Chain A
Amino acid sequence: MNLSNSFEFTCPTKTNSGNRALENIPVELESLDARKPLVITGTDIVDQQLIDIFLGAFGNSGMTLGIFDSIGKNADSSMIEQLKKAYIDEKFDSIIALGGGPVMDAAKSLNIMVSLPTADLRNSSATSLIQKPLRPLVYVPADTATGLETSKFASINGATLSSHYFMPNLVIIDPRMTRVKNGKAVFANTLAAFCRALEAYTGQDKNPLTDSYAFAAIQFICENFLTLLATPGDSKAGLAIANAMAMSGCAFSNVEAGMLHRIAQALPARINAQSGIVMSVCLPHVFAYCGKKSGYFIAEALLPLAGHDEYAAVPAKQRLEKTLKVIGQFLTELSVKGPERIPASLTEAGIESSMIDDILSNLKLDQDTQMNADDFRAVLESACEGRPVA
């Protein structure tokens, strides 16, 4: 890594992971000076059975909680306004988001609204008003997550707001909650988190702190993803993947978004393909391209991908090639054992090379310093054709 560059790193989130982690919530809230949490969740997103297990964990704590369980797949701003009123009227003092994706986005919005009641979230600069931490926010992942719950991003009213104050104070990863029903629910999202973690680990603005989170995320996914797809009920694998998702969000919050993430975000709205699948298709192409550019550290990904022994056995000059090979093999295995095939090219995924100009204009590249239009075009063309990279 290039230490002549300075870096900054923030991750205010405490992680509790493992056996009986849920039961710690009362004591953790107490240490955050909170005693009356409002739990928000959605029965469309989290099974009633899991909600019951969650509530059971408060037994003997003497706490009173409020629970709202109607968050749907798209967080509704009028619903959040009503929740704000309920929070203030009933004097709740903290928020627990049970479940990922839209539940956590709703929780982040609600938290700004109750901590800064005059903030107008339709204004994208609302986050600059935040001068100190918001009310305590706890995230409890269930069986589906996007990997962005622990990040500084929140999807609110169709826009993406960003502030380190959005990151939860506490993540409670309990194997009873993270047990997966089937591979389909986690496949694309885990691939997306994998790609984000890899980009954080190999990018130009990587630093030792983002590396700690990204390293652990990549290793957990490499070591557990296939097991999870083969035996979804495997609670250890489910726990490991949930950890990886949380860690990738933390790493991602501290680096500039990489090519893979940006390509997925810039796809035309009419494309149906899931982000994680598109990112996986592009991954070998982006890495092969960046591997030849200075300032990237693609070859270093071999350590978390393959482990100590394999990393040490490969001479430095051959590491890039080996990294691309390991990635290719992993993606092939996932494609075979996963619930769906990872397409061999973007064209197969429904993204024709004629769409490249549209994608480039969505990327807003004039603000960019790291990569320019030629770089993206080269990668997209290679990915559309499905050219071999290793």
Chain B
Amino acid sequence: MKLPGYYEFCCSVKLVAGHDALEKIPSLLASLGAKKPLIITDKGVAGAGLIKIVTDAISSGVEIGGIADNVPPDSDLKVVNQLAKLYQQNHCDAIIAVGGGSVIDTAKGVNIVVSENADDLMKFSGAGALKRALKPLVAVPTTAGTGSEVTLVAVIKDQEKHLKMAFTSYFLLPNISVLDSRMTMTMPPFITAMTGMDALTHAIEAYYCLQKNPLSDSSAHAAISMICKNILDVTKNPGNKDGRLAMAIGASLAGIAFSNSMVGLVHNLGHSVGSVCGTPHGACMSILLPYGLEYNMHKRRNEMSELLLPIAGPEVYKTIPKDIRADKVVALIRKLNNDLHQATGGRHARCFKEIMDREGKPSVPREKLPDVARAALLDGASTYNPEDTDYEDNLMVLEAAWEGVPLDTSRIRKG
């Protein structure tokens, strides 16, 4: 196990997992001195009947202070401030966030405002602005997933000024994350595949990027193993309870890994495709993951070789000679994308030209790739990537990922 010259690691979130973990929420809140939570969610989650499952599980033990389901697909500053007012009006003493990344981020934002007794989130955007523990926050993820239930970041969009603000503080970590298999049972195959690959990307990038450390490595190892064992099966058999729970736990482990080890090129380019073309995050991750591995392989071949064991299992691992294990990892990721493409009836994209928007038009036009390559220069994730990237490098990777062809590694300028 590699011991870096220096590292930091923190995961102070209490994790509660199981097929009936929701029922534990009342006693968990009581141990934090809380009994009147505000439930924050979005219309999709409520419409899928998940809020009813949550309220049925907890209403005998707590007084529900309100249910707010107006969180938009991207978090919104106005909604944060409005929900904070609702929390205060209803005299709530805790927040339960039920949903995906933007619901949990919104809840973190609301928690800042209500804990600091303020009326505007913007006052707390600097580093070190938060000095004290916030009010109790319970995160119940409904995707597997973004890992937001274990990260110290909240990204809130100011829709009026078109600004994306990132708040970073250990105080933003939820007190408790509840991983209950019932919360992800209704995810359709296409979303299951996409969010599962997002989680896999978190774990894999965490394993080879600059901030890697022993605890993020072991979390990533376990995450990769659980996700690879279950993602295809759960995509094909959505009712597999054990599989759903394994994916939820894997996604949280991946979240723990990447929030302590950071991510690199895949997220760097993926964020930029998302911000320029509006493409869903998980789709960008699935497509770019093999390219992140190829681009960095000259610097991280050993680490990537180690990934073969959790991805493919011991039977395959022992048959592959050491010097080509990393290449096999890349091949297996491409194969996984292919299998998921079949399993979702073609909806899971394997390259950017395959992604279509709701009207059937290409979501990532080739002409936009230079804009994406430029936007990636403004994103912080490149700091943690093992190899340096500039505009030309970004464009080279994006072109290959658009076409769906392997990266020409002879064109990589190696540092």
Touch A–B, Cβ below 8 Å:
yes
Which residue numbers of A lie inside 8 Å of B, CB to CB?
Answer: 3-21, 30-31, 33, 131-133, 207-209, 211-213, 215-216, 219-220, 223, 236, 239-240, 243, 247, 308-309, 311-313, 316
Q: Tell me the nearest residue of chain B to A319, going by C-beta.
A: B314
* Inter-chain contacts of B61 with A (CB < 8 A): none
Interface of B is mostly: mixed
A86 to chain B, nearest CB (A): 25
Say yes or no: B3 contacts A243, CB within 8 Å: yes
A3 to chain B, nearest CB (A): 5
Say yes or no: A8 contacts B14, CB within 8 Å: yes
Produce 1/0 per residue, B129-156, CB < 8 A to A: 0011100000000000000000000000
The interface stretch among B71-79, B210-218, B337-345, B389-397 is B210-218
* Inter-chain contacts of A30 with B (CB < 8 A): 128
Given contacts A15-B9, A17-B213, A213-B215, 10 further A-B contacts (CB under 8 A): A17-B8, A208-B226, A212-B219, A213-B218, A215-B218, A216-B1, A243-B3, A311-B309, A312-B317, A313-B318
Q: Are A308 and B309 CB-contacts (below 8 A) given A5-B18, A14-B10, A19-B6?
A: yes
Q: Is B46 close to A, CB under 8 A?
A: no
Say yes or no: B128 contacts A31, CB within 8 Å: yes
Q: Tell me the nearest residue of chain B to A20, going by C-beta.
A: B6
Q: In the assembly, what is the distance between CA of A236 and CA of B3, in Å? A: 8
Q: In the assembly, what is the distance between CA of A308 and CA of B302, in Å? A: 12
* Inter-chain contacts of A18 with B (CB < 8 A): 3-7
- Tally the A-B contacts, defined by beta carbons under 8 Å: 123
Q: Is B122 close to A, CB under 8 A?
A: no
Q: In the assembly, what is the distance between CA of A240 and CA of B214, in Å? A: 10
Point out the residue from A4, A9, A236 that lies within 8 Å of B14, measured CB to CB: A9
Point out the residue from B5, B128, B170, B245 that lies within 8 Å of A19, measured CB to CB: B5
Q: In the assembly, what is the distance between CA of A11 and CA of B15, in Å? A: 9
A-B contact pairs, 11 of them (CB 8 A): A6-B16, A6-B17, A9-B14, A14-B12, A15-B7, A17-B8, A31-B170, A216-B1, A308-B317, A311-B309, A312-B314
Say yes or no: B9 contacts A14, CB within 8 Å: yes
Say yes or no: B33 contacts A6, CB within 8 Å: no
Q: Is B306 close to A, CB under 8 A?
A: yes
Q: In the assembly, what is the distance between CA of A247 and CA of B213, in Å? A: 13
* Inter-chain contacts of A207 with B (CB < 8 A): 17
* Inter-chain contacts of A131 with B (CB < 8 A): 31-33
Q: Is B242 close to A, CB under 8 A?
A: yes
* Inter-chain contacts of A316 with B (CB < 8 A): 314
* Inter-chain contacts of A20 with B (CB < 8 A): 6
* Inter-chain contacts of B242 with A (CB < 8 A): 3-4
B16 to chain A, nearest CB (A): 5
Closest 3 pairs between A and B when the two form their complex, measured CB to CB: A6-B18, A18-B6, A14-B10
Q: In the assembly, what is the distance between CA of A13 and CA of B222, in Å? A: 20
Produce 1/0 per residue, B214-233, CB < 8 A to A: 11011101100010000000
Say yes or no: A17 contacts B12, CB within 8 Å: no
Say yes or no: A15 contacts B8, CB within 8 Å: yes
Q: In the assembly, what is the distance between CA of A179 and CA of B20, in Å? A: 47
Say yes or no: B170 contacts A15, CB within 8 Å: no
* Inter-chain contacts of B11 with A (CB < 8 A): 11
B242 to chain A, nearest CB (A): 5
* Inter-chain contacts of A17 with B (CB < 8 A): 3, 6-8, 213
Say yes or no: A14 contacts B18, CB within 8 Å: no
Name the interface residues of B13-35: CB closer than 8 Å to any CB of A. Answer: 14-21, 24, 31-33
* Inter-chain contacts of B217 with A (CB < 8 A): 216
Q: Is B329 close to A, CB under 8 A?
A: no
* Inter-chain contacts of B32 with A (CB < 8 A): 131-132
Q: In the assembly, what is the distance between CA of A243 and CA of B7, in Å? A: 11
A249 to chain B, nearest CB (A): 13
Q: Is B246 close to A, CB under 8 A?
A: yes
Say yes or no: B214 contacts A7, CB within 8 Å: no
Say yes or no: A212 contacts B14, CB within 8 Å: no
Q: In the assembly, what is the distance between CA of A265 and CA of B222, in Å? A: 32
* Inter-chain contacts of A213 with B (CB < 8 A): 215, 218
* Inter-chain contacts of B249 with A (CB < 8 A): 3, 208
Q: Tell me the nearest residue of chain A to B28, going by C-beta.
A: A8
Q: In the assembly, what is the distance between CA of A104 and CA of B318, in Å? A: 45
Q: In the assembly, what is the distance between CA of A137 and CA of B308, in Å? A: 40
Q: Are A13 and B6 CB-contacts (below 8 A) given A6-B17, A211-B222?
A: no
Q: Is B253 close to A, CB under 8 A?
A: yes
Say yes or no: B133 contacts A133, CB within 8 Å: yes
* Inter-chain contacts of A240 with B (CB < 8 A): 3
* Inter-chain contacts of A16 with B (CB < 8 A): 6-8
Say yes or no: A15 contacts B215, CB within 8 Å: yes
Say yes or no: A21 contacts B6, CB within 8 Å: yes
- Kindly name the residue among A6, A13, A30, A212 whose own CB sees the greatest number of chain B CB atoms within 10 A: A212
Q: Are A33 and B132 CB-contacts (below 8 A) given A212-B222, A220-B3?
A: yes
- Kindly name the residue among A10, A133, A236, A316 whose own CB sees the greatest number of chain B CB atoms within 10 A: A10
Point out the residue from A3, A19, A208 that lies within 8 Å of B222, measured CB to CB: A208
- Kindly name the residue among A8, A14, A220 whose own CB sees the greatest number of chain B CB atoms within 10 A: A8
Q: In the assembly, what is the distance between CA of A9 and CA of B15, in Å? A: 5
* Inter-chain contacts of A247 with B (CB < 8 A): 214-215
Say yes or no: A211 contacts B14, CB within 8 Å: no
Q: In the assembly, what is the distance between CA of A8 and CA of B18, in Å? A: 9
Q: Are A12 and B219 CB-contacts (below 8 A) given A3-B245, A4-B242, A308-B309?
A: no
Q: In the assembly, what is the distance between CA of A239 and CA of B1, in Å? A: 13
A211 to chain B, nearest CB (A): 6
